[in-house]
Structure 1
Amino acid sequence: MKPWLFLFLWCMCTLSLEAASKHILLLHSYNKGIRWSDHLSQGVEDVLAPFKEYQLTTEYMDTKKNEDPEYLILLYNLFVAKLKYQQFDAVIAVDDFAVKFVLNNKDKLFPNVPIFFCGIEKSMPGVDVERIKQEKIPLVFESKEVAINMQFLKHVMPHLKNVYIISDKTKDSMSINSIFQEEAQKLEAQGIHTTINLEGDLEKITDDLAHLPPHSAVMLGTLLRDNHGNYIPYYKVSDVIKASLAPVFAASDVLLSEGIIGGYLLRGYTNGVAVAKLTLAYLDGQKIDASKPLVVPSEWIFDYKMLQKYNIDGSRLPKEATIINPPKSFFEEHRQLVEYAFIFFPFILISLILAIINIYQRQRMEKKLAAQSYLEQVLLNNIRSSIFWIDIKGYIKGCNDSFCTMVGLSLDQIVGRSICDVFTVLCHMPTKEQLFELQEIEFMRQERTYRLRSQIFLDEGGKNGGIVAVITDVTEKKQLEINTQFIIQQSKLAEIGEMLSSIVHQWKVPLVELSAVAHKMHHYDQKGKLTSKDIQNFYGVIMSQTIYMGETIDGFRDFIRPSNEPKAFDIDQGIKDVLTLLSYSMKYDSIEVKYTNHLTKSNTLWGYPNEFKQVIVNIINNAKDAILEAKAKALVSKGHIRIDLHEFDESVGVYIRDNGIGISQEILLNLFQPFFTTKTKGDGFGLYMAKLIIESKMNGKITLEPLTQGVQVCIELPRAKEKSYENLIA
């Protein structure tokens, strides 16, 4: 077949299918969620469901919440826009607003389109029924049989003494409120007291229903708006009637299975089925007599659960009544059990096979677990650290060989005993509290230093099962730390001479000032002119200069004091402290130092603040020496040192650059090696100790980068956080 012929046939088939399909518009007066509208829609959909050629479009005018005429004008314009590119083969309008809207605008909106109306109350239509008949529009009436339901109350409850009638003042309720009043008068004539509440006050209704006298009944009409004009959700109405002391009857099925006992009920679903069948008959070519509107009859329907709740005699119900939620027969209630009985034996056989497989797999798993347990014990016993674990009461559950050796007892002598009986060093009150608070504990035993770390382990139920502790001999490590700190202090001494010189020059000015004040005081005293005010002025000058000198020496003292433990410190302040100590030295050598802090977050780091200052001092002094060498060779006229503080996601970077003599690539490779120096009087420890402090003690990184003129030192340090511990087993 030629391609163009195939394309032609496909297009023809598509057009024929499109032409064969029929589009039906279902236009509701109210909104989706109104039970009446939802039930009616379901009836229409169920009728059309078997016919795939019918396509249903449902629109909601939402006039239950908005009755403004301007809104209807906007709605009309909306339909004009929507129907510009869409044609319908039939239109079904539901309830008063939709019927009036279509009736008044059908010639413009739906010219030559068959129209069907439903949801119109027979007793009080609210629309021009004669015009509808004249224009030959099929009409389906609804009829809320209020009178029949009111008369039925006396029949179903022979001892009835009180009737409480609930409705509201909406347009939908006006058609039945007058009937309620007429029927109430008839009941009053029979000696039955009636109360009519048309206000929609939920609080009042709830209170009334909770205090109804015996032998009462409630008749529910329409309750859509409260006494303030607000829309009432169905669930609130349901909650009210479910709490009623008396049975609640109704004229529609909107709240069936939601608390009402039942009655002669108007059903939205039945109305939907009726109008859908009428529409299908018309579209199928059948003749419809539009002069005789179709009246959908109500149905006797009752909720079995509510009948039982209020002890209503079922024998007094109409024979044709439909009972919903009936009790289940034994077979219905135990249908699943009966069905299982027929297949019970195969399941037993399968269960037996599965049990055998499960036992076999369990035995294999037990063997694997035993092997795994043995492997874990071997691993524990080959760890040099001593390990034990205790329950939440402090009783030892197990340990490795190293712990047995430490305490001089066998495993059998240890397990099951209190940790205080076996290892008394841990039972001093502060130490024991630290153990159970999972704190790191350091203690001495037999002239050696040990460090204990602990962690919680979980039991089979996922709860706290106790603590596992690891004891590591850190004697050599502590000695290494002491040696390292000694080397760092030795390196720091190399910088002290330079800083003492700076301090001496910084003290010259205040000393001269103090000398001048002393001479002036002596002169005033000799002349007899020394007043109390003069003494106060001299005292102020002396104290300001003394404080300045004290701050200078305090900064120097902080620098030379070692930091024994890491802690949080302000990196910005640390750099400023160093620059204060070296300020005179830089000015003396005509070196300009510019410092910029670019941090936007916290300035706080975790580490050793005084050792960090030592690193900065060493780098700045190296930069100064390089600049002085460059000046001596006439490579630069003025020295510059720039310090920048930058931030990254998890770290802070310190960048120190100078315009000194610079370094070669060959020297760069050896700069961080111990005893390597390019200075005549250098000892080769400065940058080596800087690398040791930054990378080994503060978990950072330090690098050097040659510049066109000078060198840049880059230091990257992690931001402050809680002290990070090493792995549980060192």
Structure 2
Amino acid sequence: MHTIKKILVINSYHKGFQWSDDVLSGMEEVFYNHPEITINILYMDSKRVSSEEYYAKLRELYKLQLKNQKYDLIVAVDKFAYDFLIKYYHELFTNEPIVFTGLEQFVVEDVQKQGLDDRIYGILEKRSIPESIPMIAHMMPNLKKLYIINDASANGDDSEPFIQQAMSEHHNQFEIEYIRQSTLEELEERFSKPNKDEAVFFVRFYNDKYGNLYKNSQIASMINKSALPVFITDTLFIGKGALGGKLVPVKNVGIATGEMSIDVLDKKIPPLHVMTMVDYIYQFDVQKIKQFEVYPNAAVKDFELVNAPLTFFDKHRKFIDAVFLISPFLLFLILGLIHNIYMRVRSEKELKAIELQKNKHQQFIIQQSKLAEIGEVFSSIAHQWKNPLVEIATITQEHFYNYEDVGDEQNNQYVHDIMVQVRYMTDTINDFQKFIMPSSTKTVFDVSEAIDTMLKIINHNIKYNYIDVSIDISHATNLMVSGYKNEFMQTLLNVVNNAKDQIKESRDAKHIQRGAIRIIIYNHAKNVIIEIHDNAGGIPIECIANVFDAYFTTKDHGHGIGLYMSKLIIEDKMGGKIQASNIDDGACFTITLGNAT
């Protein structure tokens, strides 16, 4: 049974203040997995009241509240709570360690003066101020003036040096107006007129020049009314009027704080261990991108879009799904699969007894694997068809409702656009039909062309799992082999799908940002060598020797026959060799086949 650990959280602000609420939500997410931890939260309400007299009264109140209370850890949420703790620590506590979070600056001399350097840990929240201004300039090449908004609070003072540094670096490129003393009403008026050459960089604005405190909803309203694009530094106002930017995910600050708190309780890190949060994300609002015609593509490679409108497919999802469920294509696919199984069984009965047993086993494994994969491949085709259907509907609607009087030339263009989409759909189903037909006899085929065909079939799954695929044949002189083309493609599909699944797990665990599959084809000693690399972290050492065994799998819902089937196809049916190994950042499957000539 775990010993109960008690954590006291002193929050600089009041309950309902979104920034600190998001931080606390992240911490609680971590503590949820540690039932031995109990937390108590005290709210200082420093946004509303921050005088020295108030803090003195608060000290007396906390003395009464914390009397005879013993905690294992104190967490200070943001600057006000941290400064309060450092000043009154020896009156309120004994030897409890402190974890601070959300500060933008940390001065070790301050804690050394108080004799607290043996019990301080923390998370610094560094807003991406110097990096954001070049991004804004890149997204708005004609930018002539940038307004930077930062309030007159103590937090604003901590951001000040970073803002001044950024201003000094870019003052020759465009005009910069720095605003710290204003009101929301004045800001609304100032940014009420559109200008394509101006933008706003919003750092914070909770307190106005008179000391009034604004709610998040009031700030969001001001941002949303702005006739200029508003760039931000954290996730609080994304989807609420801001265009976006390089953002601090506030909840992640809380998660990092919770994880550090666990490490402090377990004595895994030394005192004065201070970590700066640089886990930024790029997010942009689709509606604001359209409104201001400011696009992130040129400035940022990987970004997320929020607040996207419903597409035609989203609006009519049930109808389209129903059409696919009852479509003749689905019936034809089922009949084709049944026919293939029947033909295989009838063909196998004509073989000799010893060959019959072996081939039945091999064909069963192959067909079972294809049936296991068919759902995923069919899903890919269905998704690839849905986009053209949406395009056809949109093109047709736009033509008939908005352009009734256009000439023959434009009519022809609409017909051409529609036919391009229809041809795409036809090519997709033709490729799929060829893929599911079994190979009855050996043929000579080009491995590069087979790989291209296989990748074309699963292109949708690869694309929407954020995986880059590259094929290198620069060192190959002869790509022709003799064997069963469709079964060879099935082998490649098994290997690539395994790589895709592992890459998805690595991305979900944030081990990698984007997946990569490299296929390298070359010749060696009259053989064709195909190497398939991924960057998903590799195969556990203890599993490499068994990956080709029947029914062996490391997946929660895996069937364990895909790679076993691949080995049967390559080694028993095509006389080649397939091996698995680990490389620097992932796994490598190597297939060796003899040249056809």
TM-score normalised over the length of structure 2 = 0.50
- Residue number among 62, 72, 79 corresponding to 1:89 in the alignment: 72
Pick which of 50-59 and 333-342 moved more: 333-342
- Residue number among 63, 76, 80 corresponding to 2:63 in the alignment: 80
Equivalent residue number for residue 83 of structure 2: 100
Equivalent residue number for residue 318 of structure 1: 300
Equivalent residue number for residue 722 of structure 1: none
**Equivalents in 2 of 1:31, 1:251: separation in Å?**
22
List per-residue Cα deviations over 1:537-589 (Å, max 9, x = no partner).
xxxxxxxxxxxxxxxxxxxxxxxxxxxxxxxxxxxxxxxxxxxxxxxxxxxxx
For the pair 1:189 / 2:172, whether they are aligned, the reply is yes
Check 1:194–1:103 CA distance in 2 against 1; reply closer, same or farther (3 A cut): closer
Contact 1:200-1:223 at 8 Å conserved across structures: no
**Equivalents in 2 of 1:198, 1:338: separation in Å?**
53
Equivalent residue number for residue 258 of structure 1: 240
**Equivalents in 2 of 1:241, 1:97: separation in Å?**
26
List per-residue Cα deviations over 1:689-714 (Å, max 9, x = no partner).
xxxxxxxxxxxxxxxxxxxxxxxxxx
**Equivalents in 1 of 2:246, 2:168: separation in Å?**
21
Structure 1 residue 133: deviation in Å?
Answer: 7.5
List per-residue Cα deviations over 1:306-335 (Å, max 9, x = no partner).
222222224224223333334556655544
Letter in 2 for 1:238: A
Check 1:235–1:225 CA distance in 2 against 1; reply closer, same or farther (3 A cut): same
For the pair 1:118 / 2:114, whether they are aligned, the reply is no
Letter in 1 for 2:270: D
Secondary structure of 1:33's aligned partner: coil
Equivalent residue number for residue 291 of structure 1: 272
List per-residue Cα deviations over 1:222-281 (Å, max 9, x = no partner).
201122221122222211111111110012222222111111222321111111001112
Structure 1 residue 96: deviation in Å?
Answer: 1.6
List per-residue Cα deviations over 1:138-161 (Å, max 9, x = no partner).
111111121111121111111212
- Residue number among 202, 206, 231 corresponding to 1:224 in the alignment: 206
Question: Looking at both structures, which has the greater relative contact order when contacts are Cα pairs under 8 Å and sequence separation is at least 6?
Answer: 2
Contact 2:7-2:72 at 8 Å conserved across structures: yes
Equivalent residue number for residue 41 of structure 1: 24
**Equivalents in 2 of 1:292, 1:20: separation in Å?**
25
**Equivalents in 1 of 2:10, 2:322: separation in Å?**
49
Check 1:84–1:188 CA distance in 2 against 1; reply closer, same or farther (3 A cut): closer
Structure 1 residue 295: deviation in Å?
Answer: 0.7
- Residue number among 235, 260, 264 corresponding to 2:217 in the alignment: 235
Equivalent residue number for residue 249 of structure 2: 267
> Following superposition of structure 1 onto structure 2, how do residues 205-604 of structure 1 map, counting pairs within 5 Å?
205-283=187-265, 285-297=266-278, 298-326=280-308, 332-337=314-319
Letter in 2 for 1:167: N
**Equivalents in 2 of 1:166, 1:178: separation in Å?**
14
Equivalent residue number for residue 182 of structure 2: 200
Secondary structure of 2:253's aligned partner: helix
List per-residue Cα deviations over 1:497-529 (Å, max 9, x = no partner).
xxxxxxxxxxxxxxxxxxxxxxxxxxxxxxxxx
- Residue number among 141, 144, 150 corresponding to 1:158 in the alignment: 141
Contact 2:145-2:176 at 8 Å conserved across structures: yes
**Equivalents in 1 of 2:141, 2:116: separation in Å?**
44
Equivalent residue number for residue 654 of structure 1: none
Structure 2: 5+ residue stretches without partners = 327-597
- Residue number among 161, 168, 173 corresponding to 2:156 in the alignment: 173
**Equivalents in 2 of 1:300, 1:199: separation in Å?**
29
Check 1:81–1:310 CA distance in 2 against 1; reply closer, same or farther (3 A cut): same
TM-score normalised over the length of structure 1 = 0.41
Check 1:300–1:68 CA distance in 2 against 1; reply closer, same or farther (3 A cut): same
Check 1:32–1:146 CA distance in 2 against 1; reply closer, same or farther (3 A cut): same
Contact 1:100-1:127 at 8 Å conserved across structures: no
Check 1:129–1:121 CA distance in 2 against 1; reply closer, same or farther (3 A cut): farther
List per-residue Cα deviations over 1:187-223 (Å, max 9, x = no partner).
3312x22222221222321121012532211111220
Letter in 1 for 2:146: V
> Following superposition of structure 1 onto structure 2, how do residues 549-698 of structure 1 map, counting pairs within 5 Å?
none
List per-residue Cα deviations over 1:417-438 (Å, max 9, x = no partner).
xxxxxxxxxxxxxxxxxxxxxx
Equivalent residue number for residue 127 of structure 2: 144
Letter in 2 for 1:56: I
**Equivalents in 1 of 2:325, 2:60: separation in Å?**
65
For the pair 1:70 / 2:53, whether they are aligned, the reply is yes
Pick which of 179-188 and 258-267 moved more: 179-188
Letter in 2 for 1:72: Y
Percent of aligned pairs sharing the same letter: 27
Structure 1 residue 165: deviation in Å?
Answer: 1.9
Contact 2:193-2:228 at 8 Å conserved across structures: no
**Equivalents in 2 of 1:130, 1:323: separation in Å?**
45
Secondary structure of 2:210's aligned partner: coil
Secondary structure of 2:200's aligned partner: strand
Letter in 2 for 1:91: I
Equivalent residue number for residue 54 of structure 1: 37
Structure 1 residue 64: deviation in Å?
Answer: 1.5
Structure 1 residue 286: deviation in Å?
Answer: 4.4
Secondary structure of 1:293's aligned partner: strand
Letter in 2 for 1:84: K
Check 1:230–1:311 CA distance in 2 against 1; reply closer, same or farther (3 A cut): same
**Equivalents in 1 of 2:116, 2:321: separation in Å?**
58
Structure 1 residue 288: deviation in Å?
Answer: 0.5
Structure 1 residue 93: deviation in Å?
Answer: 0.7
Contact 1:303-1:323 at 8 Å conserved across structures: yes
Equivalent residue number for residue 8 of structure 2: 25
Contact 1:220-1:250 at 8 Å conserved across structures: yes
Contact 2:152-2:180 at 8 Å conserved across structures: yes
Contact 2:86-2:111 at 8 Å conserved across structures: no
